[in-house]
């Protein structure tokens, strides 16, 4: 009987020690989490594009395929002369595209009889003179007065210093995170210590007055001036 009681005491002692160990571990983990602070910092800079790309097309629509081809062929030199007069030398003329438009029956069903032959020519120009490309993107429509059917597809503006700028902004975003952590900890008479981890967010390259953000990042090419924003999520040790 005494031996059974003694064994029971040992079992309860083991249970108590195990529970104590679990509580101690949990308490230690909680203390460690309280010794860290996670803060998000950000930094941005306004930049001006230093190169531009303009894509446009000339097109024609004729009943005869050969006439359509010759019309487009005769219009191309006029466009080239216009671009050269504007000082553009980087000109890429793409292969022409052709597609058919078919006649329709009175009931609205399409027939196999060709009504028109449509031809288009894609042209891409590039320059480091951003303002020149911007001016041409609107002025080139004046070629309509010469009977040329012209349509601007896209105008894109680029900044070549993004790689170096991204490094600089990441450093500034991390510094901003530390300043924010210091402000948050001031009331507790603590301060941020060593960095435990850093998670860099995606870059947002947006128009200057835009507030849009995306989890995938934004890369605006539609405006000359852009706002480049970097975000850093930083975990600091609390001192």
Which long-range contacts does 143-151 make (Cβ < 8 Å, 24+ apart)? 143/78, 143/79, 143/82, 146/78, 147/75, 148/58, 148/75, 148/78, 148/79, 149/58, 149/59, 149/60, 149/61, 150/56, 150/57, 150/58, 150/59, 150/79, 151/56, 151/57, 151/59
Tokens of 135: 């001016």
Sequence-ordered alpha helix ranges (H) in 35-113: 65-85
Position 188 scores a pLDDT of 87
Closest CA to 48 of 170, 165, 215, 140: 165
Which helix (DSSP H) or strand (DSSP E) does residue 20 occupy? helix 2-34
pLDDT band at 2 (very low <50, low <70, confident <90, very high): very low
Domains assigned to the chain: 35-48+161-238 (3.30.110.170), 51-158 (3.30.70.2970)
**pLDDT tens digits for range 195-209:** 999 998 899 999 999
Quick check: 57 pLDDT over 50?
yes
Mean pLDDT of the chain: 87
| pLDDT reported for residue 187 | 87
Digit-coded pLDDT (tens) for 58-117: 999 999 999 999 999 999 999 999 999 999 999 999 999 999 999 999 999 999 999 999
The answer to whether the CB of 196 falls within 8 A of the CB of 237 is yes
Q: What percent of the chain has pLDDT over 90?
A: 77
What is the C-alpha to C-alpha distance for residues 59 and 14, in angstroms, rounded to an integer? 89
Q: Cα-flanking dihedrals φ and ψ of residue 19, to 5°? A: -60, -40
Whether the predicted pLDDT of 159 surpasses 80: yes
């Amino acid at each position: 009987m005494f031996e059974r009681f003694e064994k029971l005491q040992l079992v309860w002692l083991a249970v108590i020690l195990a529970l104590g160990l679990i509580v101690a571990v949990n308490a230690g983990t909680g203390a460690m989490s309280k010794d860290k602070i996670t803060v998000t910092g950000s930094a941005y800079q306004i930049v001006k594009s230093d190169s531009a790309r303009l894509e446009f097309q000339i097109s024609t629509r004729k009943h005869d395929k050969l006439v359509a081809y010759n019309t487009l062929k005769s219009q191309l030199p006029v466009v080239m002369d216009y671009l050269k007069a504007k000082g553009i030398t980087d000109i890429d003329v793409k292969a022409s595209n052709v597609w058919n438009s078919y006649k329709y029956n009175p009931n609205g069903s399409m027939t196999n009889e060709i009504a028109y032959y449509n031809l288009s020519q894609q042209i891409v120009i590039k320059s480091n003179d951003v303002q020149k490309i911007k001016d041409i993107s609107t002025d080139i429509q004046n070629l309509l007065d010469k009977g040329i059917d012209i349509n601007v597809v896209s105008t894109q503006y680029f900044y070549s210093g993004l790689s170096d700028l991204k490094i600089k902004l990441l450093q500034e975003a991390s510094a901003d995170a530390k300043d924010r952590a210091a402000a948050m900890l001031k009331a507790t008479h603590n301060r941020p210590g060593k960095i435990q981890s850093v998670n860099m967010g995606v870059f947002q390259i947006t128009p200057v007055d835009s507030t849009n953000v995306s989890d995938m990042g934004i890369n605006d090419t539609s405006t000359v001036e852009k706002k480049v924003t970097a975000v850093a999520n930083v975990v600091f040790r609390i001192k």
